[in-house]
Each structure stands twice: as structure tokens, then as C-alpha cells.
């Protein structure tokens, strides 16, 4: 991979990020009515108090002043304070990030591995009973909205059967620590993780299947068979690695979206992650918090896109060596 290729991709990503930062500012200034009034609705405030509040939230001065203020604060990683909790947005997001990273990380890992495996098995015996069964299954899960699946699982396994907790990340009435706490959190994670895994594996299975079917038409597979290779080796050494190339890109890109895409599932299971925080911030409405979350989500999409580009270039010698 040439340094020029890498620096080009990195610069492109930084450009996109800069655009998002500017856009983010204007979007939220246009949306925003009068947060001070919203926040203290029904209460009497003196004009002096109002002015003080406006100053505290960085809402005084001209729009240009505000924009400058916003950029300076952003450069210091100061995203403002939550209207709701008055804690810094950064600390709020930092606290909510870990549950999301665990939940999304594990479910993405599971859905990609299972989805890709299903795609391979289905494509290799195209048209077989197994292919039809697997493809019907993945089509069904692909078509199922994640919140609907989440509610279904919640009703069946938590409400009716009582096998799993209704929501949250740990049992609020116990004060265990260490391994016991981890085990409790894992137990709480089962249903949301299952929901995300099942909701997303269909896409990977479908993409992997069609990518492998395309690859299976390639002449170099005939050559590999002609050389005397066993079927499994033709598949493992030649077909699957080539078919995986576009899927790797999809996985990386999706990962960026999944961070923000878990809003519905986290809300259903009261999982205290970024998605849940977004839901709460919209309901309030807590604009600094939303602005911060929006920035984090955009940055993660941009970052994983960059990662996808670089991974593809690394894995495909046609890009790497040119």
C-alpha cells in the first residue's frame, strides 16, 4: 500500500469529518428553539438569570461568535454540558460508550461469523435443500426489524418464561463485584446481543452467498480443480478468500452504523449505552448531548469507512501493489 494511497484516504476522511462538524453546528442551531425556556419551563427566572444561563450554554453573541466558540471548545474536547444532568457531555458519552462497544462488538462478531458461514454453506451447494432452508431463514431475519425482534424475544424469554431479566445491564438490588458482576452483566446482555446478532446476520449471509456465487464462476477455480485440488481446498484457498473481500468492507462499514443503529434495541432492553442515551436526549430534549452523540456517531462511521478502505487495500494485492 503506497503512502500516497493511505494519506489520500486519511485526508479524505478528515475532510468529511470537518464537514460534519460544521454541519453539526448549524443543524443544531437551526433546530434549537430556546433551550433556557425549555429547561426552566413554568419557573420564573429574572432576565439576569436568563442571561447568565445563556452565557453558560454558549448561546449569547452572534452566530459567528457562537461558531467560533463551538470550534474552540471542540478543539479542547469540550462538548458542553448536558441540559439534563449538568455533567459534561464528554463524560456522559464516555460512560455510555462501553456498554455499547461490548454489546455491538460481540454481536457484530457473532453475526459476521455466523452469517458468513451460512452464506458459504448455502452458496457451495446452491439450489440444495440446505441452501433453500438457510436462505429462507436469512431472508426472514433480514426482513425483521430489530426492535420488533427485540420485543418478541423480551416478551417470550423475559416476560412469559422469565429466563432472562427484563432490562438493564446488571441487577440493581445486588452489589456484587468482580467476576460475579461480570457474570451478571453477561446474563443481562444475552437478549439484546441475540437480537442484534440475529437481526444483522441475514445481511452478511446474503452478501456472502452472492459474492461466493460470483466467485464460483471464475476461471481460476476451474484451474484449481484441474490441478487436482480437493473440493474443500478449492473452496478454502481460492473461493472463500476472494469472496470475502467485499464482505470485509461491508462488515467495517456496518460496524460504524451499528454503533448508532442500536438505538431501538438498547432502548427496549434499557441497555445504558449510546443508543439509550440518544433516546433519552431526544425525549428531553437535551441538545448538547444530542450534538455530541451525533458527532460521535458520524466520526465512527467515517472512521470505519476509512478502516474498510485500508483493510480492502491491504487484503487485495491489486490495490496494495499499485
Partner 1 sequence: MSTPLLLDVRDLHVTYPSGGGVPAVRGVSFQLERGETLGVAGESGCGKSTLAGALLRLLPPGTEVSGEVLLDGENVLTMREDRLRAVRWTELAVVFQGALHTLNPVKRVGWQIEEAITTHERGIPRSELRGRVAELLETVGIPGRRAVDYPHQLSGGQRQRVLIALALACSPHLLIADEPTTALDVMVQAQVLRLLEDLQRDLGLAVVFITHDLSTLAAVCRRLLVMYAGRVVEDGPSDEVFGSPKHPYTAALAAAFPIIGDARFRMAPSGLPGDPPDPRHLPSGCTFHPRCSVARPECASRAVELWPAGEGRRAACVQVLDEVPT
Judged by beta carbon, residue 63 or residue 230, the one nearer partner 1 is 230
Q: How far is the CB of 114 from partner 1 (least distance, A)?
A: 25
Judged by beta carbon, residue 7 or residue 322, the one nearer partner 1 is 322
Q: How far is the CB of 223 from partner 1 (least distance, A)?
A: 5
Q: How far is the CB of 164 from partner 1 (least distance, A)?
A: 44
Judged by beta carbon, residue 188 or residue 235, the one nearer partner 1 is 235
Closest C-alpha among 180, 147, 150, 178 to residue 164: 150
- What separation in angstroms does the CA of 23 have from each of 10, 14, 71, 79? 20, 14, 12, 15
Q: How far is the CB of 125 from partner 1 (least distance, A)?
A: 10
Q: How far is the CB of 237 from partner 1 (least distance, A)?
A: 8
Closest C-alpha among 263, 295, 260, 272 to residue 79: 295
- Residue-wise DSSP of 78-105: ---B-TTT-SBHHHHHHHHHHHHHHHHH
Collapse the DSSP code of 272 into the 3-class scheme (helix H, G, I; strand E, B; otherwise coil) and give the result.
coil
Q: How far is the CB of 229 from partner 1 (least distance, A)?
A: 6
Judged by beta carbon, residue 48 or residue 226, the one nearer partner 1 is 226
What Rg value do the Cα atoms of the chain yield, rounded?
24
Cell representation of residue 74:
471542540
Q: How far is the CB of 208 from partner 1 (least distance, A)?
A: 17
Those residues whose C-beta lies under 8 Å from the C-beta of residue 34, and which sit 6 or more positions away, are: none
Judged by beta carbon, residue 240 or residue 268, the one nearer partner 1 is 240
Judged by beta carbon, residue 94 or residue 241, the one nearer partner 1 is 241
Judged by beta carbon, residue 2 or residue 174, the one nearer partner 1 is 2
State the CB neighbour count (10 A cutoff) for residue 155.
11
Query: Which residues contribute to the site for partner 1 (CB under 8 A)?
Result: 218-220, 222-230, 237-238, 241-242, 245, 315-318, 321-322
Those residues whose C-beta lies under 8 Å from the C-beta of residue 135, and which sit 6 or more positions away, are: 122, 205, 206, 209
- Residue-wise DSSP of 43-62: S---HHHHHHHHHHTT--S-
- Cell numbers 468529511 correspond to 16
Amino acid at each position: 500500500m503506497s503512502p500516497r494511497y493511505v494519506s489520500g484516504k486519511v485526508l479524505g476522511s478528515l475532510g468529511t469529518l470537518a464537514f460534519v462538524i460544521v454541519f453539526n453546528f448549524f443543524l443544531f442551531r437551526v433546530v434549537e428553539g430556546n433551550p433556557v425556556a425549555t429547561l426552566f419551563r413554568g419557573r420564573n427566572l429574572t432576565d439576569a438569570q436568563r442571561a447568565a444561563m445563556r452565557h453558560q450554554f454558549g448561546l449569547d453573541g452572534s452566530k459567528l461568535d457562537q461558531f467560533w466558540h463551538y470550534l474552540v471548545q471542540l478543539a479542547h474536547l469540550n462538548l458542553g454540558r448536558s441540559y439534563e444532568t449538568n455533567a459534561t457531555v464528554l463524560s456522559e458519552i464516555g460512560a455510555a460508550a462501553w456498554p455499547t462497544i461490548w454489546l455491538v462488538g460481540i454481536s457484530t462478531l457473532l453475526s459476521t461469523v455466523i452469517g458468513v458461514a451460512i452464506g458459504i454453506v448455502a452458496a457451495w451447494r446452491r439450489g440444495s435443500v440446505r441452501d433453500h432452508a438457510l436462505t429462507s431463514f436469512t431472508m426472514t431475519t433480514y426482513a425483521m426489524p430489530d426492535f420488533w425482534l427485540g420485543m418478541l424475544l423480551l416478551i417470550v424469554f423475559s416476560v412469559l418464561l422469565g429466563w432472562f431479566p427484563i432490562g438493564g445491564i446488571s441487577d440493581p438490588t445486588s452489589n456484587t463485584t468482580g467476576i460475579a458482576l461480570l457474570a451478571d452483566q453477561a446474563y443481562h446482555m444475552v437478549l439484546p446481543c441475540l437480537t442484534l446478532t440475529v437481526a444483522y446476520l441475514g445481511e452478511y449471509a446474503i452478501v456472502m452467498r452472492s459474492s461466493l456465487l460470483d466467485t464460483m464462476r471464475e476461471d481460476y477455480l476451474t484451474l484449481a480443480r484441474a490441478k487436482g485440488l480437493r473440493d474443500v481446498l478449492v473452496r478454502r484457498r481460492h473461493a472463500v478468500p476472494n469472496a470475502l473481500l467485499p464482505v470485509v468492507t461491508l462488515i467495517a462499514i456496518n460496524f460504524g452504523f451499528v454503533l448508532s443503529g442500536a438505538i431501538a434495541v438498547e432502548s427496549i432492553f434499557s441497555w445504558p449505552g449510546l443508543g439509550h442515551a440518544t433516546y433519552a436526549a431526544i425525549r428531553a430534549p437535551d441538545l448538547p448531548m444530542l450534538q455530541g452523540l451525533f458527532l460521535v456517531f458520524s466520526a465512527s462511521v467515517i472512521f470505519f469507512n476509512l478502516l474498510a478502505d485500508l483493510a480492502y487495500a491491504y487484503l487485495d494485492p491489486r490495490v496494495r501493489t499499485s
